[in-house]
Amino acid sequence: MPTAHQAFDEMLREGIRPRLQALGFGGSGSTFTWPAPSAIAHLGFQKSQLSNDGAVKFTVNVTIADRSKWEMLRQARPHLPEEPLPNTRYAKEIWQRRIDRLTPGERHQWWWVEADGDWMGVANEVVEAITAYVVPVLRKRTTTSS
């Protein structure tokens, strides 16, 4: 029987990635990139430390960095990666939010994938939330630059 981690990976690969690509995202694994010429915009799936082989608890993080601001930060802090990672917190100059901060009422939002569960319903919920709450923010903040 597959583990919850394997079910989570399958959900990302087969249930979420194709639908995010249809929305305009690129990327692989658990990090997706929104196309923006003057900004670096990433969506990241973060597993909770409470996850185990039986169940994976996860959420979605969004990071948007103006390219010139990010380069200035990297010059001051050479240890920073070439692009900001969506599940790592940076300086206040980098706009970062967990998906729940983008929903009405800022409802705490974590999802569960179980080893023996059907992940398609979870994938549907996640993509619906990204479409409704994340994509409009990405469009607005990367068009006007963060």
Q: Where are the domains of the chain?
A: 4-140
Distance CA 143, CA 134 (A): 14
Distance CA 60, CA 11 (A): 14
Residue located via tokens 């996640």 = 126
pTM (2 decimals)?
0.92
- Which pLDDT belongs to residue 108? 82
**Residue 134 pLDDT class (50, 70, 90 cuts):** very high
**Residue 105 pLDDT class (50, 70, 90 cuts):** confident
Distance CA 69, CA 67 (A): 6
pLDDT above 70 covers a percentage of the chain that reads 98
According to DSSP, the residues that pair with 60 across neighbouring strands are 45
Tell me: pLDDT of 96 over 50. yes
Distance CA 113, CA 116 (A): 9
Classify 1 as helix, strand or coil.
coil
Distance CA 60, CA 16 (A): 12
